[in-house]
Structure 1
Amino acid sequence: MTDETTSDRYLSAERCAAFIDAVVAIAMTLLILPLMEAVSDAGAEGGSAGRWFGDHQEQLTSFLVSFVMIALFWMIHHRLFRRISAVPTGLMWLVSAWLLTIVWLPVATSMSGQFSDAEGLVRVVYIGSLFAVCAVSFVIRLYVRRHPEISSAAPSATRGDLAVDLSMMIMFAIALGVTLLFPVLGYWPLLLMFLTGAVQSLIRRAWR
């Protein structure tokens, strides 16, 4: 009876990891679809490859940035999940929320590539979407920290993982604030993400 109850409350970590990998892979694939459609349209209109690259610089940039960010988000999430032995229903719902933010990124990416940088709402949607991924990931780590029985991670490793998500949240929030205060900068404030490592180190020192 106890075994049946336990199996109802917990999901297989391996199956959940496979599900997560599949959804993330699909989201990364969806990023390229607007560019493929643009190539087809340019070919039908008799355009050249050189002109296509010139006309779609913003789309190409947003595609590359989003592809790299999703890959980074997956690697961070994978490091968490490889230490988890079983997945409670509550954790699976949080993971589903994280996947929702990942699946939304191709839409936000398409918007950032299609609409003008001068439109503040587009920047809020794009950078805000990246912030949301980190925020949900941070909540997931808090859940795992409060349920140590499902993870083999040491407390120090869990604190370090929390510092990763928190530092990224801080830098995305700063980047969003800067781009709204200085619209002429467009998406360049995202380069502040290169300072994430320094912020992460400061957070870890503060938590010692």
Structure 2
Amino acid sequence: MEKETARIEAFSDGVFAIAITLLVLELRVPEVVGAEGPGVVAGKLMAQWPTYIAFAISFFSIFIMWVNHHKLFKQIYRRNTEIMFANGLILFLVCCVSYPSSLLAQFYDTDSQQLVISIYTGTFVLVNLSYNLLWFLACRDRTLLRPGLSEAAILGIRNNYLYGLPTYVAAFGLSFYFPVSALLICILLWIYWAISSKKVEMRGNSEGEINKTY
């Protein structure tokens, strides 16, 4: 069966590339008044540590989102209007990541830490929901999926997305009381999925290996 999603994937790759590039705009050269020495400049650079952390976290989160988006569309061969709009929702949220990242960089080391981390973790609850929605819509009409993809593989991918949802919701709830711990949960999830991610191998009509999904 001919794959119909090439344009969707190409457009999506472009959006992911732009979103991940926008993150670097948060890295700003510190203002220097006069001929300040290296010690002063180093101090100002060190003072921007929340910005560096927010940039690194957001870069790798978007990258992992792209990896899983790519793997998901390895299993989706055809598209309909619902698939296109669900994919559009994912891309919208990808573009939104730069804003909570900016908030995290600017207000992490302030009294507003809890608020910005709640916004940040809440964003990824929505991201996870959008991936669940895309796969749900794809599975509802099995003719949209890759030929030979087994029922066990389909359910395995679905379950991996669903397993991530309560963890993100828990992190969001925890952010109101222990914001740093909530942010750490998100980071650990991304590290885990990045390390354990595996390709879905097609083995005729037999069960394939299921990747850990975002």
Q: Is the 8 A contact 1:141 1:158 kept in 2?
A: no
Q: Kindly report which structure 2 residues correspond to 1:1-208, keeping only aligned pairs within 5 A, or say none.
A: 12-35=4-27, 38-39=28-29, 41-43=30-32, 48=38, 49-116=41-108, 118-119=111-112, 120-152=114-146, 153-183=149-179, 185=181, 187-193=183-189
Unmatched 5+ stretches in structure 2: 194-209
Q: Specify the alignment match of 1:5 in structure 2.
A: none
Match of 1:6 in 2: none
What is the one-letter code of the residue matched to 1:19? F
Shift, 1:160, TM fit: 1.8
- Cα distance change, pair 60–184 in 1 and its aligned pair in 2 (3 A): closer
User: CA 1:190/1:150 → structure 2, altered by over 3 Å: closer, same or farther?
Assistant: closer
Distance in 1 (alpha carbons) for counterparts of 2:49 and 2:136: 39
Q: Could you give the per-residue CA deviations for residues 134-155 of structure 1, whole angstroms, max 9, x where no partner exists? A: 1100011000110110111322
**Uncovered stretches (5+) of structure 1, i.e. residues with no partner:** 1-10, 198-203
Equivalent-residue separation in structure 2 for 1:15 and 1:184 (angstroms): 40
Cα 1:85/1:186, change in 2 over 3 Å = closer
**Length-normalised TM-score, structure 2:** 0.76
| 1:34-76 deviations in Å (ceiling 9; x for gaps) | 10xx21x435776655224311111111111111111111111
Identity %: 25
Cα distance per residue 1:154-183 (max 9 Å; x no partner): 222222222222222222222222231224
Tell me, what secondary structure is at the counterpart of 1:190? helix
C-alpha displacement of 1:195? 9.2
Conserved in 2, the CA contact under 8 Å of 1:27 and 1:102?
yes
Match for 2:140: what amino acid? R
Q: Pick closer, same or farther for the CA change 1:30–1:177 going to 2, 3 Å.
A: same
Report the aligned-residue RMSD: 2.6
Return structure 1 stretches of 4+ with deviation > 4 angstroms: 43-49, 183-186, 194-197
In structure 2, what is the equivalent of residue 200 of structure 1? none
Using the size of structure 1 for normalisation, the TM-score is: 0.78
Which AA in structure 2 matches 1:134? N
AA in 1 matched with 2:107: F
User: When the two structures are aligned, how many residues end up with a matched partner?
Assistant: 185
Secondary structure of 2:92's counterpart equals helix
